[in-house]
């Protein structure tokens, strides 16, 4: 567990991933408490966040699309990831590089594909909040491979029925379930 004290970085209106590469190169030497990216409207290469140690990565008011591509051995130490008022299309490989992710929050957003393949690599995820979000594709077994999930808040979404296969198979750690 890393300690994140006081370093807050905000990047707004960035026009390309090239504009983030130099600042991110310097930030790799620090534990950043909070990294806010706002108004991003370009495709992000999967290695952009490689090596960052961030308590919370928050992406707001953006069209966040991650290009496909596997990054074996390249990891980011992001503990919490928040999408707010964004269109999210991370492909299937993005979360595979976030081994340390414990909290995922998607609010007032649109997600292209919310599925089992998208989330299966998040084996350390303990908190998931999905609120007021629209899905283009929502798999019926989306959360089934999240063994450490302890809190699930799934509110104000257009999901009318949740079958048992939607929830984690081994849900003995699930203590909070909010499906309003």
Q: Sketch the domain layout of the chain as residue ranges.
A: 8-178
> What local confidence, expressed as pLDDT, does residue 53 receive?
87
> What local confidence, expressed as pLDDT, does residue 84 receive?
96
> Tell me: the pLDDT tens digits for 87-115?
988 776 677 778 789 999 999 999 988 88
- Tell how far CA 141 is from the center of its chain: 18
Look up residue 138 and give its two tokens.
Answer: 């929502």
Q: What is the C-alpha to C-alpha distance for residues 146 and 150, in angstroms, rounded to an integer?
A: 9
> What local confidence, expressed as pLDDT, does residue 46 receive?
74
> Tell me: the pLDDT tens digits for 115-163?
888 787 888 999 999 999 998 888 888 888 888 999 999 999 877 777 7
> What local confidence, expressed as pLDDT, does residue 75 receive?
67
Superfamily of domain 8-178: Ribonuclease Inhibitor (3.80.10.10)
Q: Which of 38, 40, 65, 35 is nearest to 53 (CA)?
A: 35
> Tell me: the pLDDT tens digits for 170-180?
767 889 989 88
Encode the chain in three state secondary structure. CCCCCCCEEEEECCCCCHHHHHHHHHHCCCEEEEEEEECCCCEECCCCCCCCEEEEEEEECCEEEECCCCCCCCCCEEEEEEEECCEEECCCCHHHHCCCCCEEEEECCEEEEECHHHHCCCCCCCEEEEECCEEEEECCCCCCCCCCCCEEEEECCCCCCCCHHHCCCCCCCCCEEECC
Residue 85 · residue 109 · CB < 8 Å: yes
Whole-number percent of the chain with pLDDT over 70 = 89
């Amino acid at each position: 567990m890393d300690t994140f004290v006081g370093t807050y970085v905000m990047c707004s209106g960035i026009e390309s991933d090239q504009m983030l590469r130099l600042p991110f190169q310097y930030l790799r030497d620090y534990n950043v408490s909070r990294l806010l990216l706002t108004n991003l409207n370009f495709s992000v290469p999967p290695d952009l966040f490689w090596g960052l140690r961030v308590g919370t990565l928050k992406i707001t008011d953006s069209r966040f699309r991650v290009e496909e591509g596997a990054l074996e051995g390249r990891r980011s130490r992001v503990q919490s990831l928040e999408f707010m008022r964004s269109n999210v299309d991370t492909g299937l490989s993005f979360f595979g590089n976030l081994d340390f992710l414990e909290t995922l929050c998607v609010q007032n957003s649109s997600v292209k594909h919310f599925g089992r393949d998208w989330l299966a690599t998040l084996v350390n995820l303990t908190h998931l909040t999905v609120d007021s979000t629209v899905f283009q594709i929502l798999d019926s077994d989306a959360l089934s491979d999240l063994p450490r999930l302890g809190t699930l808040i799934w509110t104000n979404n257009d999901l009318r029925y949740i079958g048992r296969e939607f929830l984690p198979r081994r849900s003995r750690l699930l203590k909070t379930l909010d499906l309003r």
